[in-house]
Amino acid sequence: MTAENIPRATAKRLPIYYRYLNILHDTGKSRISSTELAEAVQVDSATIRRDFSYFGALGKRGYGYDVDSLLSFFKQILNQEHLTNVALIGVGNLGHALLNFNFHKDGNVRISAAFDTNDAIVNKIQDGVPVYPITELAHQLKEQQIQVVILTVPSSAAQGVTDDAVAGGVKGILNFTPIRLAVPDAVLVQNVDLTNELQTLIYFIENFGK
């Protein structure tokens, strides 16, 4: 099974499993049952078994899963051994917060370049990251071989900036703007909408809460 064949929903759960396995590893636990894992990560055990089955028989009946071998397996799948540089476009309220956070906890992803139109912040270092003028976007993405960008510009600028990023060779866009971006088939867009997430949470509390 190659990474392209893994269902998207499964792929989205892999970092959740990976994070929890790291915690288990740090506490010295060497194995875990799918039921225990299910309780910890709040994913039902049948789903966990199905997710893991895409990668072959990783667990043994009556024994559970070996934490270290699962961990090294996920490390490989999730490319955790390689540092991935990403760019942030739009260093305003939201962009600033993301730059400041900079994914330290996960270790393998970091924002290494930022872009903006505001003369007051370009050509400066912000939270340890250089902020380039947006006019340099395509050139810098190619130069620094950055394939993933985080989009935190106003809606009105979103599509234009996306076109430039695509011209610069990006393969993936984490889109915080409310715009549904038009991109070539080969480019993946992951939309993040906090309002949506909150409304979903409230819906579940109201309809299925204890």
CA angle 206, 9, 146 (to 5 degrees): 115
Binding pattern for the stretch 157-186 against ligand NAD, x by CB under 6 A and - elsewhere: x---x--------------xxx--------
**In which residue are the tokens 């050139």 written?**
139
Under the criterion CB under 6 A, does residue 94 sit at the interface with ligand NAD?
yes
Closest-CA residue to 60 (of 36, 33, 22):
33
Q: Interacting stretch for ligand NAD, rule CB under 6 A, among 41-49, 54-62, 91-99, 141-149?
A: 91-99
Among 152, 166, 181, 183, binds ligand NAD (CB under 6 A): 152
Q: Is 94 annotated as a binding residue?
A: yes
Number of chain positions touching ligand NAD (CB under 6 A) = 24
Restricting to residues 96-125, which ones interact with ligand NAD according to CB under 6 A?
115-118
Under the criterion CB under 6 A, does residue 72 sit at the interface with ligand NAD?
no
Q: Is 102 annotated as a binding residue?
A: no
Strand partners, 124: 131
**Residues 6+ positions from 157 with CB-CB distance below 8 Å:** 90, 117
Restricting to residues 185-204, which ones interact with ligand NAD according to CB under 6 A?
192-194
Under the criterion CB under 6 A, does residue 15 sit at the interface with ligand NAD?
no
The 3-state DSSP class for residue 169 equals coil
Per-residue burial over 53-87, b if 16 or more Cβ lie within 10 Å, else e, is eeeeebbeeeebbbbeebbebbeeebebeeeeebb
The 3-state DSSP class for residue 67 equals helix
User: 16 or 157: whose CB is closer to ligand NAD?
Assistant: 157
Could you list the residues that contact ligand NAD (CB under 6 A)? 89-95, 115-118, 134, 152-155, 157, 161, 176-178, 192-194
